[in-house]
Amino acid sequence: MDTPVKREAEPAVAREYRTGELAEAAGIPVRTLRFYRERRLLPPPRREGRIAWYGEHHLARLRTIAALLERGHTLGGIAELTAAFEKGRDASQLGELLGIGWWEETPVRLSPEDLADYFEGEVTPENLAASLDLGYLATDGEEIVHVSRRLLDVSSALVREGVPLSAVLETGRRVREHADALAALFTELISAHIGQDAVARLRPLAKSVVEAELTMAMGRLHQQLPPEPEAPQAPEASQAPAPPQASQPPRQPGRPQTPQPPQPPQPPQTPSS
């Protein structure tokens, strides 16, 4: 028998799209695609004469834009975000970096000086190591990337209020554990009764439940706290002190007082006739 000849797999050819094909693949109208090009949200296509050819990285960018718009980002904010990350990352990696489809946070690029301004006096090697371990910070060349604008602002505000950054990071680690448990709980609930495909669609409901329960829990805890001792009140200035009582004149030493003679009784009055 003849031994079959093994053929080497041919390298996959990257697909390219014309304007209409790219818009259809991304699920948007052609006019929207052209608008994104005018706003420079898409890199320029490859040109062959009058034909514009787009690649998979253009499709990835369009899906990223759609996901960010769905989560409330503006086109201006998306343009700034993609421009910032293109300095050190390929545009096709932006969706992966943000966890598009799930991630809702806006990363922030910082210089070491910017980070020091956010956490004055708290940027120690221990705190940096803890932040990297939690995934809050990542390095990209000479820049530092914080994973979430909201977490960055909250952490900085707590430090300005006097909470040590090490305590903030430790609390963040504990919150992460509870958040992972809650995410697993809701994922199991939705997957078991509706289907795994519905998890992404119903995620806002889970967020609402967690926010409401946390608000009520903090209210219950506040009611259980013992009242703080009241500071002693100073007397009001309008309350004048009572005047001292008049005292009897002191006796003169060596001179006994002469007793007053008793007054004779008055005769009773007779009625006039």
For 232-259, the pLDDT digits (tens) are 776 665 555 555 565 555 555 555 555 5
Query: Where are the alpha helices (H) located in the chain, listed in sequence order?
Result: 19-26, 30-38, 56-70, 75-85, 94-98, 112-118, 125-134, 149-160, 165-193, 199-224
Per the prediction, the chain carries an average pLDDT of 78
The pLDDT confidence band at residue 210, using thresholds 50, 70 and 90, is: very high
> pLDDT of 126-164, one tens digit each?
888 888 888 888 776 567 888 888 999 999 999 999 999
Residue 180 is encoded by which pair of tokens?
């992972």
Contact 92, 61 (CB under 8 A): yes
How far, in Å, CA of 207 to CA of 106, rounded?
Answer: 18
Residue 213 CA to residue 225 CA, distance in Å, equals 19
Distance CA 185, CA 198 (A): 14
DSSP state of 195: -
Give the DSSP H/E element, type plus range, for residue 110.
strand 108-110
- Host H or E run for residue 189: helix 165-193
Tell me how far apart the alpha carbons of residues 45 and 196 are, in angstroms, rounded to a whole number.
Answer: 37
Q: 85, 90, 76: which is closest to 36 by C-alpha?
A: 76
Q: Please report which helix (H) or strand (E) contains residue 131, including its range.
A: helix 125-134
